[in-house]
Amino acid sequence: MGSVWHKDAPRVGFEMAKDNISTDVLIVGGGIAGILCAYKLKNAGADCLLAEAAQICGGITQNTTAKITLGHGLLYHKLIKRFGQDKARLYAQAQMDAIREYAGLCQSIDCDFESRDSYVYSINDRKKLEKEIAALGRVGVEAQLSNVHELPMDIAGAVCIKDQAQFHPLKLLYALAKDLPIYEHTKVVQLLPGKAITNRGEIAFKKLIIATHFPILNKHGLYPIKLYQHRSYVLALKGAQKLEGMYVDESEAGLSLRSWGELLLLGGGGHRTGKQGGAWRELEEFSQKHYKGAEIAAKWATQDCMTLDGVPYIGQYARTVPDVFVATGFQKWGMTNAMVAANILRDLVQGKANPYALVFSPSRTVLRPQLAVNAFETALGLLTPTAPRCPHLGCALKYNPAEHSWDCPCHGSRFTQRGELIDNPATDDARWKE
């Protein structure tokens, strides 16, 4: 089963590229970040086009739970510690700007936009919540400690941020995309200076934005060690209690909950891609315990790029390629961060300053504890003497019994049992395809 978003959002289609073409700004990747970048650039008067290897919104974007919130877990006290109060405040302001922009866009587009309070809860640690509320206050965000009563389990409390939102992502994105210069089924197979080689011909460009979830250009920027991917699972439950708020556990191993119409979207069971986790079984056990009688109306899984320090990489791809830009590492919060990325990249590719660019710069330090973990997993994957292997950088693939796929624990590429590519950074099928 797939996500619930496809059922009532008529898809818009686009032609394939033909022959050789040119543009000032080429955007590679037709998910939410790529579409918003194209929308922003076109409205700014820039000559741009978007190339998507398959169909727009056909990758990670279609599998979101679609919360529009700055409540990104218990993040802000960590940001203050890592970057200082000023940069943490800028991060929060960028998210608030994104929320306001969505609210404005959704006034004229029917996409089930609803104002909702956002809650980050803890099962057993109220002091963590108090610490986060103090940090939020320092960066200009009003939050309060809440004793939540609509969840089915006991918790220590929650950080409540009011006037956040939820929506139907595909209804919005298809409406924005229909008037944009987009080519579908146009796969970039090689990137050269000023030119992209595709399966449909060549695209010449002056500036390039890579919005392919995990960056596909390996020669620059150290992204294979700056990022790892995390897999998580969702059940859409019919007959469960409706929730007025949007909820996420402060623990990475916890749950995400929000209602949509008559359905409850229950997320969790996560793990590093290529490792083992609770998957749908964990969610089904929770549902059977706390939502007796609820039926599973849909189930799906998603994948998120995680950075070394909790902040996405948005900006110049690397110092060695000044005309190439990237948006990646949204840390499970792709709705607001995709809008942040579109605003920053719209300015940078036009040579304009952006007040948030420094906070999200991909060139910031990599000296974080997660770097050692990523390096270890890569070394382990490369040295494991088993087949099949990932065509990205050669790591040993691991079988995912929940989804019947072969997944890469190094960088998160995924393949069907026949070796067909599901998720990047690999760009080709694995070799055992029949």
What pLDDT sits at residue 1? 65
Residue 211 has pLDDT above 70, yes or no: yes
Please give the residue that has the higher pLDDT: either 37 or 8: 37
The answer to whether residue 109 scores a pLDDT higher than 80 is yes
CB 226 within 8 A of CB 219: no
Phi-psi region of 329 (alpha: psi -120 to 50; beta: other; left: phi over 0): left
Answer whether 333's CB lies under 8 Å from 72's CB.
yes
* Angle at alpha carbon of residue 211, lines to 278 and 87, rounded to 5°: 80
Residue 100 in tokens: 């306001």
pLDDT tops 60 at residue 434: no
Q: pLDDT for 8-19, tens place per residue? A: 888 899 999 988
| Residue 236 pLDDT > 90 | yes
For residue 175, pLDDT over 90 is answered with yes
What is the rounded average pLDDT of the residues 285-307?
Answer: 96
How many other C-beta atoms are found inside a 10 Å radius of the C-beta of residue 434?
4
Burial group, residue 142, by CB count within 10 angstroms (0-12, 13-18, 19+):
exposed
* 321-328/201-210 β-pairing: parallel
What number is the average pLDDT over the span 232-237?
96
Residue pLDDT, tens place only, 240-268: 999 999 999 999 889 999 999 999 999 99
pLDDT single digits (tens) 366-419? 999 999 999 999 999 999 988 899 999 999 999 999 999 999 999 999 999 999
Nearest to 267 by CA among 327, 214, 311, 333: 333
**Confidence (pLDDT) at 5:** 93
Pick the CATH number of 369-423 from 2.102.10.10, 3.40.50.920, 3.30.200.20, 3.90.550.10: 2.102.10.10
What are the structure tokens assigned to 392, written together?
């990205």
CB 419 within 8 A of CB 383: no
Written as six digits, the tokens of 170 are 């595909």
Give yes or no for residue 200 having a pLDDT over 70: yes
CA dihedral of 341, 342, 344, 349, whole degrees rounded to 10: 120
Q: Which CATH number fits domain 17-64+170-226+309-360: 3.40.50.150, 1.10.287.1060, 3.50.50.60, 3.40.50.300?
A: 3.50.50.60
- 158 within 8 A of 247, measured Cβ to Cβ: yes
Report domain extents, the chain. 17-64+170-226+309-360, 228-303, 369-423
Per the prediction, the chain carries an average pLDDT of: 95
Report how far residue 203's alpha carbon sits from residue 194's, in angstroms, rounded to the nearest whole number.
Answer: 8
Name 203's Cβ contacts closer than 8 Å, sequence gap at least 6. Answer: 17, 20, 21, 22, 23, 26, 49, 51, 188, 195, 196
Residue 371 and residue 225 in contact, taking contact as beta carbons nearer than 8 Å: yes
Q: What percent of the chain has pLDDT over 90?
A: 91
Which of helix, strand or coil describes residue 345? helix
**CATH level 3 topology of 228-303:** Alpha-Beta Plaits (3.30.70)
